[in-house]
Homo-oligomer: A and B are copies of this chain.
Amino acid sequence: MLYHRFAKDLPFSEAEYTRRLEKTRTAMERSGLEVLFVTDPSNMAWLTGYDGWSFYVHQGVIVLPDADPIWWGRNQDANGAVRTVWMGDDRAIGYADNYVQSTERHPMEDLAQRLIGMGLERARIGVELDNYYYSAKAHAVLSQELPDATLLDATALVNWQRAIKSEEELVFMRRAARISERIVDGLVERVEPGVPKNEVVADVYRDALTNLDGHWGDYPAIVPLLPSGSDAAAPHLTWDGEPFKEGEATFFEISGCYRRYHAPFCRTIFLGPPSDLFRRAEAALVEGLEAGLEAARAGNRACDIANALAAPLESAGIERGARCGYPIGLSYPPDWGERTISLRSEDETVLEPGMTFHFMPGLWMADWGLEITESILIKDDGPAETFCNRPRKMYVKE
């Protein structure tokens, strides 16, 4: 394993990348895969260190059982690969630019030729079938160009290896959490009736990106979400130029990001005296969160968190009808979740120390919404640790 941390400013130690590659190879072997073609940018980065906004073209990492991974992508992006991956420069290979968004040729033709050149034309090759960055067309072309190979669904195979965080990763998530706290502190200070939303988002980005405790901030995989009033019924609206209004609740779904690691954190701010409805919902939600944190311990299951949350909400007559969380860590747009475990009643995955989740019981009702959430770490013993430490409540500014 060639490794160039200092010249390249790689985020992690050689031992950490070795650990990741070995876990992945073990999972490949268990799935009977001779090769794994990884297109999820988060998986690419987790395995190799690759970092760049090039995922709008076809690219990937080829994981082999017995040789260093190969970064494959557009020629011009191989320049970014040799600057960011731990492997030697000869492990970054590019395809010609006229494969990009062409109607005559497809990058997967190039990939197929590379694999054939490596003697893998009859291999059992894992591909991430259900991923943003592996399109139906990519799969069709790769299948056609490799008629003797067996392409197998390896969706989330690497994502599952990411579930338990190393100490090195937790350092990054804690840095992200400090940023998340700073963003929420700033929101509580600045959100007032009459202040336009876009101006507040500019301040969110300042708090997200400028140095904190000597560390720089990275872009989060999801932009800030901050719908108000009846729009807060919709979980994924972004912002506009409207002012915040007296008598309205706004939820803020944000995350600090340190070198692609996230600690999502949501709080709601009510301007003016809240209605009884909001007060009752807040009380039930906070009770549910605390019950969920108690249940979020090693040996329990994902569904235990969801069920613990549901009880007080049901007592208050609130039916959510949605999962209440997902694993978090390293991510690229469009999602900061890991897309493996879901905190919901049907998911019986056993919780293990080092797993990290966004415990995210957003309430999105017919004409109002409320978000109070925590990013959490499953500990060896006892209830989950929250990454952020701020009052678990709806903030009211009267």
Q: A198 touches which one: B75, B104, B130, B209 (CB < 8 A)?
A: B209
- Chain B CB within 8 A of A98 CB: yes
Residue contact B129 to A132, C-beta cutoff 8 Å? no
Please give, as numbers and ranges, the residues of chain B lying within 8 Å of A106 by CB-CB distance.
130
Residue contact A202 to B209, C-beta cutoff 8 Å? yes
Residue contact B79 to A364, C-beta cutoff 8 Å? yes
Residue contact A334 to B205, C-beta cutoff 8 Å? no
In chain B, what residue has the closest Cβ to A79?
B234
Please give, as numbers and ranges, the residues of chain B lying within 8 Å of A225 by CB-CB distance.
53
Q: A222 touches which one: B53, B153, B238 (CB < 8 A)?
A: B53
Seen from chain A, the residues whose Cβ lies within 8 Å of a Cβ on chain B are 9, 51-56, 75-77, 79-80, 83-84, 96-98, 100-102, 104, 106, 127, 129-140, 153, 155, 196-199, 201-202, 205-206, 208-211, 215-219, 222-223, 225, 231, 233-241, 321-323, 326, 333-335, 337, 339-340, 342, 344, 346, 364
Residue in A127, A234, A235, A344 whose Cβ sees the most chain B Cβ within 10 Å:
A234
Taking the closest CB of chain B, its distance from the CB of A340, in whole angstroms, is 8
Residue contact B346 to A235, C-beta cutoff 8 Å? no
**Chain A interface mostly helix, strand, loop or mixed?**
loop
In chain B, what residue has the closest Cβ to A364?
B76
Please give, as numbers and ranges, the residues of chain B lying within 8 Å of A55 by CB-CB distance.
334
Residue contact A216 to B235, C-beta cutoff 8 Å? no
Closest 4 CB pairs of A and B: A216-B241, A136-B139, A130-B137, A80-B234
Residue contact A79 to B321, C-beta cutoff 8 Å? no
Assuming A130-B138, A211-B241, what are 11 further A-B pairs, CB within 8 angstroms?
Answer: A76-B235, A79-B233, A79-B234, A79-B235, A100-B323, A101-B340, A130-B135, A139-B139, A197-B216, A198-B216, A215-B241
